[in-house]
Structure 1
């Protein structure tokens, strides 16, 4: 195992800059997820760590060693790809053993490592099968097994669950997290799915347009987003964001006023963006009137899209409420969970 240090990394394709001086410290044994929308540079950064993309500027270290010019096969990393990349003419056992055979590893050692990885991933009954005889989740486990047998210092995952159906993604998330807890190998994982990031990571790196917006533990990013982008990206359903200004101890927008915390940090009259998560809105007689547009029952909770003034908001209620589209409800945000952002800089206000 080893730490990974990414220091002031820049990447450009011709005259088009993709990464603008990215720096991340990944501790030995840490599970770090790079998350962000398509085109933010997260997969490019992962491929640079793997040695599959050249570095325009900056430095990458795996352990104490600078690996900028080290070939991929000499970096002691193992990568799991989105499309599995299994050899169709080889059995599961042969796919997992292939990289060890290329290195000239002894047959007995190969057999031992393949057996161990198969036991960890529950692949033992499938070792004689070919990839075409496996489900998507089984193929993904074989790809992970091929990485495990190499016993690398660092695991790299490039959106490994994107091709799986929703139910299988949930179970595979748990398997990957359990695998990390068992092996304790440093892991860098790329995804655009913030639910994957929230449920699996020790530390999340939120990227946008080639820069890092915020780094922190999942709940830290959820509870204290550093700016509007992180606030809107982390959380499902997304945080409600309202455009208005401070008026006394309230937030005013349109003809409505919403409560703030006991000590609003912004000056009276200052234009701000008011953020409140859907689960922190409740129905109250003294709340603001909102017209229901859509009701989405999910079983454990009910999501309600409503129109508050000219703005659409989403509310999440745990109760089984008898509501109908077109009905007026009175909603009140919990002032203890209000987020305020500067309208110009989009940074969080303390």
Structure 2
């Protein structure tokens, strides 16, 4: 295991900069997820750490070594790709042990490492099969096994679950997380799926156009997003954004007055801003109370109901942890939970204030002694 340190790393393709002077410290034994929209530079960054892309400027350190100019084989890393990259003519055992054989390791050592990795991943009964005889999940396990047998300092995962169906992705992300908890090998994991990042990572790096928007634990990013971009990217369904103006009475937006703590409204009175509220932070109330919202679309999810609503001039999504017998055209009375709201500057998108800052109150979690 080893820490990974990136210092002022830049990457340029021709005249186009795709990574802009990025600094990052991945702790020893940490599971760090890199997330962001397509084209943000997350896979390019991972490939630079692996040595598959050159670094235009800056340095990359793994452990005590500067590996910026080293070949991939000399970096003591193992990478799991999106497409598995298995040799179709080789057995599972041969695929898993190929890198060790290529390095000239003794056959007995290769066999023992393959056996241990197969046992960890539940592949012991499949060692003589070939990739075409395996399911997608089994192929992914083989790709992971090939990485494990190398016993590297760092694991690199490049969107490894994107080719799997939804149910298998859930199973495999649990297996990858369990594997990390067992091996405690430093892991960098690239994904466009923020749910994967939230459920698996110790910390998340949110990238946008080659720059870091925020680094933090999943709950830190969810409860205290640094700006509107992070707030929109983290959380499913995404946060609602309602433009308007702060007043001493509350947040005025398109004919409705949304709740703000009195001190916050007074402090920012007259300032244009964007009110952020997550779908799960609406509560229903009796007619005559709260704010009237017209139902536009009903999406039943079994134990939950998701509604698209017209609230004043804004369209919002509300998520209720119950079954509702609502239909398009109905009017519901809602109240945003003001303590869970956020204010973002209308121009810069930077978060002005969140109510409250403590995670426990924002999500209604009791503090554990």
Normalised by the length of structure 1, the TM-score is: 0.99
Partner residue in 2 for 1:276: 277
Point out 4+ residue stretches in structure 1 off by more than 3 angstroms.
none
1:8 corresponds to which residue? 8
* Equivalence for 2:95: 95
Aligned 8 A contact 2:113 2:149 in 1: yes
Within 5 Å, give how 1:201-220 maps onto structure 2: 201-220=201-220
The two structures, once aligned, show a CA RMSD in angstroms of: 0.9
Cα offsets for 1:251-270 (capped at 9, x unmatched)? 00111101013431642111
**Number of aligned pairs?**
350
State the partner residue of 2:303: 300
Q: What is the deviation of 1:249?
A: 3.5
Counterpart check, 1:317 vs 2:320: yes
The answer on 1:128 being equivalent to 2:106 is no
How far apart, CA to CA, are the structure 1 residues paired with 2:325 and 2:261? 30
Report the Cα distance in structure 2 between the residues aligned to 1:116 and 1:36, rounded to whole angstroms.
35
SS at match of 1:231: helix
1:32-90 CA deviation, whole Å, 9 max, x = no partner?
00000000000000000000001011111001111110000000000000000000000
Q: Deviations over 1:18-44 (max 9, x none)?
A: 011111100100000000000000000
Aligned partner of 1:289 among 266, 288, 292: 292
Secondary structure of the corresponding residue to residue 264 of structure 1: helix
- 1:237, 1:22 → 2: CA distance? 29
Following superposition, the deviation at residue 308 of structure 1 comes to: 1.2
Partner of 1:335: 338
2: CA distance, partners of 1:100 / 1:299? 49
CA distance in 2, matches of 1:41, 1:310: 36
Unaligned runs of 5+ in 2: 354-369
Deviations for 1:129-148, whole angstroms, at most 9, x for unmatched residues? 10000000000000000000
Tell me how far apart the structure 2 counterparts of residues 111 and 162 of structure 1 sit (CA, whole Å): 30
Residues 87-136 of structure 1, C-alpha deviations (whole Å, 9 max, x = no match): 00000000001000001111110011000000000000111110000000
Q: CA deviation at 1:300?
A: 2.1
**Cα distance in 2 for residues equivalent to 1:57 and 1:160:** 28
* Cα shift readout 1:261-306 (whole Å, capped 9, x = no counterpart): 3431642111010000000001123211111111111112111111
Q: What is the Cα deviation at residue 310 of structure 1?
A: 2.4
- What is the correspondence of 1:1-350 to structure 2 with a 5 Å cutoff? 1-264=1-264, 266-285=267-286, 286-350=289-353
TM-score, structure 2 as length reference? 0.94
Contact 2:33 2:203 in 1 (8 A): yes
Cα deviation, residue 309, structure 1:
2.0
Paired residues of 1:240 and 1:277 also in contact (CA < 8 A): yes
Does the aligned pair in 2 maintain the 1:137–1:168 contact within 8 Å? yes
Distance 1:262 1:64 in 2: 52
- 1:176-205 C-alpha deviation (Å, 9 max, x unpaired): 000000000000000000000000000000
1:349 is paired with a residue of what secondary structure? strand
